[in-house]
Amino acid sequence: MAVSRQPVLKRCRNLGIEPQYLGIYKKSKKQPQRSPRKVSEYGQQLKEKQKAKFIYGVLERQFRTYFQRASKMKGIVGENLLMLLEMRIDNVIFRLGFSRTRREARQIVGHKFVLVNGKRINVASYQVQPGDTITIREKSRESQRFKDIVASTGSVIVPPWLSVDRQKLQASVVSSPSRDMIDIPVNETFIVELYSK
């Protein structure tokens, strides 16, 4: 499996995004270098795609598959794309505050700590649906790791399309997220323009 080894803060600096979107609250001491050159239209489109891929931890081939699926759905393609990415189980775990970072959320799913409708899930790209119930495996709930996670993510604001009980580490998907519920700094219209060429 391909894994990005580039330091997170360096990548955030290059793309111009805040590390908080990944659950990281460190600040880079280095300042991004200002480029005197004007960024082309293609450059802007590519940067927006790279931002979305980096935030959600998706590689190119999988991202293209998401775009193709979004194109076949009803509604606006760019919003459909973000909705599909947002409803990945690893992203949902991060949004619920069951992990401190997006990478940790992916690890939690991979280690089979997560149940969806009582079924153990270990694939980070699993798509949740409205009405799904998400729980942390009973054995894992009492572990020190999850006690620390709950203590450190207590101030996390859960989006309105999710409902959560932090004490029981249980949650449910209330609805599909609309664009105004997705707070990532990506202009999805540039991504649609890029793939439409």
- The pLDDT tens digits of the residues spanning 134-183 come to 999 988 888 898 888 888 887 888 999 999 998 889 999 999 999 999 98
The CATH number assigned to the domain holding 191 equals 1.10.1050.10
Which residue is it, tokens 């959600």? 56
Q: How many domains does the chain have?
A: 2
pLDDT, mean of residues 81-99: 94
Range of the domain at 56: 8-26+39-85+185-195
Average pLDDT, the chain: 87
User: Token pair for residue 66?
Assistant: 């998401």
Q: Are residues 105 and 119 in the same domain?
A: yes
Q: Are residues 78 and 12 in the same domain?
A: yes
Q: Are residues 120 and 143 in the same domain?
A: yes
The pLDDT tens digits for 31-75 are 555 656 788 899 899 999 999 999 998 999 999 999 999 999 999
DSSP state of 196: T
Q: Is residue 49 part of a domain?
A: yes
Q: Are residues 97 and 162 in the same domain?
A: yes
Q: How far apart are CA 69 and CA 44, in angstroms?
A: 23
Q: Is residue 32 part of a domain?
A: no
Phi/psi of residue 88, nearest 5 degrees: -70, 145
Q: Is residue 79 part of a domain?
A: yes
Higher pLDDT, 80 or 18: 80
